[in-house]
Every structure is written in structure tokens, then in C-alpha cells.
Amino acid sequence: MLVAFGINLLSVAHAVPQKNIMLRVVLITPACTINQGQMITVEFGDNLNADKVDGQNYLQDIDFKLKCPGTVAPSVVTLTLAGAVSPFDITALDTNMPGLGIRMLLDGVPLEINKSVPIDIGHLPRLQAVPVQRHGAILAKGKIRASATLRAVYL
């Protein structure tokens, strides 16, 4: 953020000319920290039934803590989940398994991957993940992997 402003210094004496000073100030805000920088892992278990992957079954809460030094509630913070987007659902992370994605929800509403959304730092939203499959997909057996980066930036 770059802020520029001018200051006029006026003298009370009649013979002193007016002076203009131009100041340029760069404000640097400290970064927000999520979970003290530790990895967040979401486990869906070892027994997912492909016939029950419907965007509702296997829903998992993602607990996270957010610290943004220098902010005071209610401060506006933007939250972004950055990652590879599923080819069939813009609110799902792509996985290593064709036809399967991990849909992300913020307060129960699908969260578009790579899109910043404002949140209130005083009332953190509920973040959730749930497996979804492309219509007509035949899912293979195997371990599911997906990754993303959760970013928080305050304005």
C-alpha cells in the first residue's frame, strides 16, 4: 500500500514564504498466520464407499486458528483456498483420482477455489471438506490425495 500526501507548513510571520513538503510512506502490514504455520490434514477414513460419494456423505470439519497481528475485531480479512480446481466443479479441489474432487464449504456454502472471500476475524467461519464425484464417474480404489494452501490477508 502506498500513501502519498502533502503538508503545508505556514508561518505566522509575514515575510516567511510558504514551504511544501511531499512525503511518501509505504505501509507494511504483518502477515496473518494460520494454525501457527502448521499443516492442516483432513482424513476421510479408509472405507469410503464410491456409491455413497454424493457431496454430503463423509463431510469433515476443518479446524483452523487465525492470527493477524495488528488487527482489531471487527477487521476485514480475505480468505483464499488456493489449489488445483477440479475439472467438473469450481468449488472442488482436484485429486489424484479421475472423476473425484474435494468440495470446500465455508459456513455451509460451496467455496470457489482460488477466489478470495471476506471474513470477519472476530467470528471465524466454519470450513469443511466433502468428497464429490463427476456425474457418471466410475471411481477406482486407492488413496485419495489433494492439496491446497489456505491464505488470509487483511485489508
11-67 confidence digits (pLDDT tens): 445 555 666 777 777 656 667 889 988 999 999 888 888 889 999 999 999 999 988
Instruction: Count Cβ atoms within 10 A of the Cβ of residue 52 and give its class: 0-12 exposed, 13-18 middle, 19 or more buried.
Output: exposed
Please indicate, yes or no, if residue 132 is contained in any of the structural domains.
yes
14 inside domain = no
User: Residue 93: pLDDT band by 50, 70, 90 thresholds?
Assistant: very high
**Number of folded domains that form the chain:** 1
Q: In CATH, what number is assigned to the domain containing residue 100?
A: 2.60.40.1090
Quick one: which of 18, 42, 21, 25 has its CA closest to 103? Answer: 42
Q: Which stretch, 1-15, 35-49, 125-139, has highest mean pLDDT?
A: 125-139
Give a yes or no: residue 87 inside a domain. Answer: yes
Domain coverage including residue 67: 33-154
Q: Is 79 contained in some domain?
A: yes
Residue 22 lies in a domain: no
Residue 1 lies in a domain: no
- pTM assigned to the model: 0.78
